[in-house]
Structure formats: C-alpha cells, structure tokens
Amino acid sequence: LDNHQEKRKIVIAGAGLVGSLCACIMGKKGHHVALYESRPDPRSEREQALAHGRSINLALSARGRAALARAGLEDVVISQAISMRGRMIHSPDGSKKAILYDPNTEQCIYSVSRQFLNEILISEAEKNPNVSVHFSHKLVDSRMDKGKLTFRKTDGNSAPTEVVVESELIIGADGAHSALRQAMLKQPMSNFSQTYIDHAYMELKIPAKKNGQHAMDTHYLHIWPRNEFMLIALPNLDGSFTVTLFMPIPIFGELQTADDVETFFTREFPDAMGLIGKEYLIKDFLSSRPSHLISVKCNPLNAGKGVLVGDAAHAMVPFYGQGMNAGFEDILILDNILDMYKNEPVEKALTRFSQSRVPNAHAICELALYNYVEMRCLVNQSAFILRRFLDYRLHKLFGKKWTPLYNNVTFSLTPYAECIQHKKWQDQVMKKVKYTSWIAVSLVTLGGLVVWRDFVHSRVHDA
C-alpha cells in the first residue's frame, strides 16, 4: 500500500456484484468504505430461498477476471466455476455442432453462480476493517454537490428510520433502475436513454442426471438458435443447467395453456423438453412470468461527488455476457483513475472516468444488441460460418493484428469502442479482398472465354 496515497471516505450504494467488488478493491487500497444495500443480507437463509428464482449463472470472462484478480479473488472464483470452451449448437433435428470460442488457443469463458459470487464478494469486503456493510438500507435521497446521502433503514420489526451519511465520493452501483442516477438526471446537461427490447426471457432448468452428472456436454454454452428466438443453457456445479428462453413478448403471450407450451416445445426444442422433463417444463413455464430486457445509456456518468458504475451506468441486454464483466472493468478503471488523481479534487477524477468510460459503455450496449442476432440467427448461416473460419485463420497468421471481434471483447481488455473499430477495419479489408477476388476471377474467366473462342475459331478455319 502506498502510504502517500490519499485515503478517501467512500460511500457505495448497492451491494450487488459490482458494488461489493468495488468495496473489496477500494477497501484494499486503504479507503474508508461504507457499503449500503437496500435488501437484507443475501447470505441469510430467507434471502437465499427468495433468490432462488433469479439465481442465474453468469459467464465470466477476461475483464471480470482481471478485476477479481485485483481483489485477490480470481482463483477462488474460477475454482468454483465451470469452463465453457465454445458454443454447442442444437439444430431442430436434434443434431449438435460445437463451435469453439477460440479454435487457436482454446480460451474459455466460465459459468459462475450469481449467488455464490455475490456472497464471496460481500464476505471478502467485510473481512477488511476499512469496510462497513449495511443491509436493508435503501438510498432515497442524494445531494451530489455536498456528498450527502439519505438511506431508509428497515429491519422488519420497527418503523423505518432515516440514516444520513456524508462522503467525499459517492459510487452508485444500485443497478439498472438506479436511484442515484435518478438524482443525477436532475442536473443540467445529464443525458440518458433507456430502451426496452421487444424480447423477454424466462429461466428454466435441466436437472442433473440421477448420478449427479450433467445431462449434456458440460463444458459448453448450449444454444438452440431458431432465428426469431433462442434457448440457451449454462452449466451449474450441481450437475444442472440453467436454461434461458429469449423470445418476442407476443409469443410468450400466445403460450397460455399446458397444451400451448407442449406443442411449442415439441416443435422448436424437442430435445430440450426431454431433458427438462415435460411436467416440470409446463409447471415452471406456466408459473413464471417473462422478465423484460433493458438497455441504458448515460452521459456523463458523474455529477459533483457522485459517479455511476455497473448496470446503473450501462445496463445492457445480456447477449454478449458482458454486463457484469463491463461493470467489474468499471471498477478497475475507476481505481486506476483515483490513483492517478490522488492529489486532486475527486470531481476531476470522476470527470476523467466518465470521459474514458462513456464511449466504451455505449459500444458494449450496441455490441450486446448485435450479439442477439448472431446467437439466434447468424450462427445458422454459412456466410457467417465462413467468415468466422477466415477470421480465426487470419488471427493465427497475424496474431493481435487480426483479432476476431468475439475474442477482442471476451478475451482481451481492449476498450469496447476499439473492438468495434477493429471489426469495421476488418470488414473493409474483407470487402476489398472480395472485390479484388471477384475482379480477378472475372478477368480469368473472361481471358479463358477469349482463348476458347480463338481456339474454336482456329478449328473452324482449319476445317
């Protein structure tokens, strides 16, 4: 620890994945951190039971791993995660095809339980004497200029009380519907957009086999792409798979009865229905409601002493598996910038953070929308498969000079906006190569025709 580094008094709103990681990293740096969370402790038995329905697992990749490493938690998290080396595509006829994420070096992403990750992050933060954690404290009011926050404390037994705290730095990690962001938007020049997509999702489950093993190949992210919609499945440590159905909202609306659900799954996902079990599928489907998917953009990410991180700053649709990873990366970057500006007013550091993060946050929101089309539709198309093949050949040949988009986003720390620029450049090169090849092929064909015509002519003359 650098003894000369300024130690700040930091308040974090939201002890989800990003807020609790932030408390670990800031606490480790010697800052005085108070972490406030609106819900009760997720490690309590009651909360675990409640969390069951939303216990989705997540795909962890390079950016998330780098941030966990800074908190000293990468190895323990990876030891409780399942590697996924590629996509396993399930066709309607029941056949399967594996597409490795990185055919050259076989890099993997990791399926990890959200509940486990949140618990380990909170426990790690709490171990640090610089960090205090306060559950059942909901942020209800904030004054970013003064660094003043008001929380409503509820303990279930007595009437709620108000708790006012002051801080040199306020970090809003309070999720997609952030209360801190609401307060920030009252400031002039605060820009914000939110878009709900026309598709929603529902979680289902493929149970473990009787012997506790996975019912499908363990080390893959399974996809049933059906153009307009898709089913995906990520492995869990207990032998089950968490299955997520992404589909246009009106189609969910059409599936009202057991017959509707059975007919739909028999037509679209017969093999998955067999693995889930028809009775469980129908019961789960009819007792759940689809959840909506939102994409949020914000600019700037700071006001006064306050800054937004994670979903509060850039909620995105989940199709690139980058929401948490991008949120974790926010903390790495914020930490770096606070170090760089340690002798300056915090407002200056936050402006720098916002300037560097906004273009990349917007870029990953766009990429996440694009990847839905790739996952549910493009993976079925031969042009996409050919381009992917070429990309990985060129990557092998030219290394970092030609990194496929997925690898850049998932296995590197290249800023997201640069990943898009690199892909655009590759597309231009491909276009030129395509035109040049067309011209070359046309010239050769034309030349061939001329030679053939002359040959036929000479034969006629000879005759």
Of 36 and 392, the one with the shorter C-beta distance to ligand FAD is: 36
**Does 82 contact ligand FAD by CB under 6 A?**
no
Question: How far is residue 301's CA from residue 231's CA, in Å, rounded to a whole number?
Answer: 34
Q: How many chain residues bind ligand FAD (CB under 6 A)?
A: 32
Question: How far is residue 258's CA from residue 420's CA, in Å, rounded to a whole number?
Answer: 44
Of 138 and 226, the one with the shorter C-beta distance to ligand FAD is: 138
Identify the residue among 225, 318, 404, 415 touching ligand FAD (CB under 6 A): 318
Of 325 and 407, the one with the shorter C-beta distance to ligand FAD is: 325
Residues 6+ apart with CB under 8 A from 241: 205, 206, 214, 215, 216, 222, 233, 234, 235, 275
Following CA atoms 391, 394, 399, 402 in sequence, which dihedral angle do they give, to the nearest 10 degrees? -60
Residue sitting closest to ligand FAD (CB)? 16
Identify the residue among 102, 311, 329, 374 touching ligand FAD (CB under 6 A): 311
**Does 110 contact ligand FAD by CB under 6 A?**
no
Identify the residue among 115, 240, 325, 414 touching ligand FAD (CB under 6 A): 325
* 38-57 binders of ligand FAD (CB under 6 A): 38-39, 56
- Compute CA distances 285 → 56, 158, 242, whole Å: 16, 38, 14
**Does 310 contact ligand FAD by CB under 6 A?**
yes
Tracing tokens 């009202």 back to the chain, one arrives at: 256
Of 403 and 410, the one with the shorter C-beta distance to ligand FAD is: 410
Amino acid, single-letter form, for residue 334:
L
Of 346 and 361, the one with the shorter C-beta distance to ligand FAD is: 361
**Does 14 contact ligand FAD by CB under 6 A?**
yes
Q: Residues 232, 223: contact at Cβ < 8 Å?
A: yes
DSSP string of 37-59, one letter each residue: -SSPPTTSHHHHHHHGGG--EEE
CA 81, 13, 143: angle at the middle one, nearest 5? 160
CB of 180 to ligand FAD, least distance (A): 8
Identify the residue among 77, 139, 350, 409 touching ligand FAD (CB under 6 A): 139
Of 368 and 378, the one with the shorter C-beta distance to ligand FAD is: 368
Q: What are phi and psi of 295, to 5 degrees?
A: -125, 130
Question: How far is residue 130's CA from residue 121's CA, in Å, rounded to a whole number?
Answer: 15
Distant-in-sequence contacts of 334-339, Cβ < 8 A, 24+ apart: 334/22, 334/171, 334/307, 334/309, 335/25, 335/26, 335/29, 335/70, 338/8, 338/29, 338/169, 339/5, 339/29
> Which segment (1-9, 271-279, 300-308, 319-327) binds ligand FAD by CB under 6 A?
319-327
CB of 47 to ligand FAD, least distance (A): 10
Of 181 and 395, the one with the shorter C-beta distance to ligand FAD is: 181
Q: What are phi and psi of 109, to 5 degrees?
A: -105, 170
**Does 37 contact ligand FAD by CB under 6 A?**
yes
**Does 242 contact ligand FAD by CB under 6 A?**
no
Closest alpha carbon to 176 in 58, 12, 55, 294: 294
CB of 372 to ligand FAD, least distance (A): 12
Interface pattern 142-181 for ligand FAD (x via CB under 6 A): -------------------------------xxx---x--
Q: Residues 84, 235: contact at Cβ < 8 Å?
A: yes
Question: Which 3 state secondary structure label does DSSP give 19?
Answer: helix
Of 192 and 398, the one with the shorter C-beta distance to ligand FAD is: 192
**Does 409 contact ligand FAD by CB under 6 A?**
no
Q: Residues 50, 42: contact at Cβ < 8 Å?
A: no
Identify the residue among 147, 235, 327, 415 touching ligand FAD (CB under 6 A): 327
Which residues of this protein are in contact with ligand FAD, per CB under 6 A? 13-19, 36-39, 56, 58-59, 138-139, 173-175, 179, 201, 244, 310-312, 318, 321-325, 327
